[in-house]
Chains A and B, each alone.
Chain A
């Protein structure tokens, strides 16, 4: 096993990064926590392709070398805050603690979008991400299973001080890995989640605040695992980075 890991690491760091893998997801209609009509309607997700793994440190390093305007010492502050890629050793080198095969974190939404564009891709929308993430190894929609929720909640409970893991977790039914348990991930419409800063006034019809329908009604309020993800994304601004937030791309 260890020999395999070492050879993979060598392959990744030495040669040019191999093309990222994308799988087809047929999409369909499903019950999103953010209903299509802001009340209860199901959401339809058109077929799309999703990257099987989040973007790694090695891949992002390659990107900043070929796109130097995204180096941490050159990026415009409006696109990435001061802690962008702070975990790396310097602008073009990883640190000992940042393994090439860990998901890249401390990246802003603008940086993530630029990376995906460089791969001929884009960030997934919240609905696409949610659709793919509802699956486990055998079912397309495992969200009703308390064991599924519990396993996600237990990642939230682990402190960040525990060493970050490498990519390569178990694949779900679509063949996508590491949607859970590794890092939060950016979505294209992170600023469409329209959750009130005080989550307790969910049904408060503050029409002036959100133009008509009030702050979004979140459906499925006992699906805490997904709710927390919505809360996390709503707390962010486009230039923000956090030490647990990475991304993957879609086409």
Chain B
């Protein structure tokens, strides 16, 4: 079942055996969300468990802020170097953001396959994920999506450790939080 998969994952990545333990009550991996990444591969949200990562939400037709979100995430990664942190970006717009479209953006923005994942899930799960990340969004009649922007830091077990809504430049406090979380895990 899930536990076997997780243990296998742990074996492959050499992560520590904390994964055998039950998910903490405040872990957002408690949400039973199924995602598909830019390569078309399906995965459970809880499979991301194991190491700290940055998570945020966007959509590819977004004219203004979403490109900035990607830029900010890249800058944040650079500020952390040589330490590395994984990034998961989930789309608000599953209808238009198919895996092919996500792959297109992946290439256009020259994202690093070793740490980046762009993903989509169904509308019901988008609402749940946004709710748990405290992100607001609303679809407008013309297809635009109004949304708030936040970068959220998860620890290896999926607990929210830090967040920032500073977009366009690096948030020094947030970077410090990421660094310290990476260090302790």
Contact = CB atoms under 8 A, between A and B. Distances in A.
Chain A in direct contact with chain B (Cβ < 8 angstroms): yes
Interface of A: 34, 36-38, 41, 76-79, 109-110, 113, 188-194, 207-213, 216, 234, 237-239
Contacts of A78: 25-28, 30-31, 132
A37 B144 CA distance: 9
B26 A211 contact: no
B136 A208 contact: no
Nearest to B158: A78
B115 interface: no
- Tell me the interface secondary structure of chain A in the complex: loop
Contacts of A211: 62, 64-66, 145-149
Given A210-B146, A212-B65, A213-B146, A193 B136 contact: yes
A37 B131 CA distance: 22
Interface in B144-183: 144-149, 165, 167-168
Interface of B: 23, 25-28, 30-31, 62-66, 68, 127-128, 130-132, 134-142, 144-149, 165, 167-168
Contact of B138 (A41, A110, A194, A209): A194
B146 A77 contact: no
Given A77-B26, A210-B148, A192 B141 contact: no
Contact of A192 (B30, B68, B132, B137): B137
Nearest to B28: A78
15 contacts: A76-B25, A78-B31, A110-B128, A191-B137, A192-B137, A193-B136, A194-B147, A207-B64, A207-B65, A209-B165, A210-B147, A211-B65, A212-B65, A213-B146, A237-B131
Contact of A189 (B64, B138, B168): B138
A38 B132 contact: no
B134 A188 contact: no
A206 to B, nearest CB: 11
B127 A37 contact: no
Contacts of A216: 138, 146
Contacts of B140: 36-38, 213
Nearest to A126: B138
Contacts of A237: 131, 134
A188 B132 CA distance: 13
A110 B21 CA distance: 24
B144 A191 contact: no
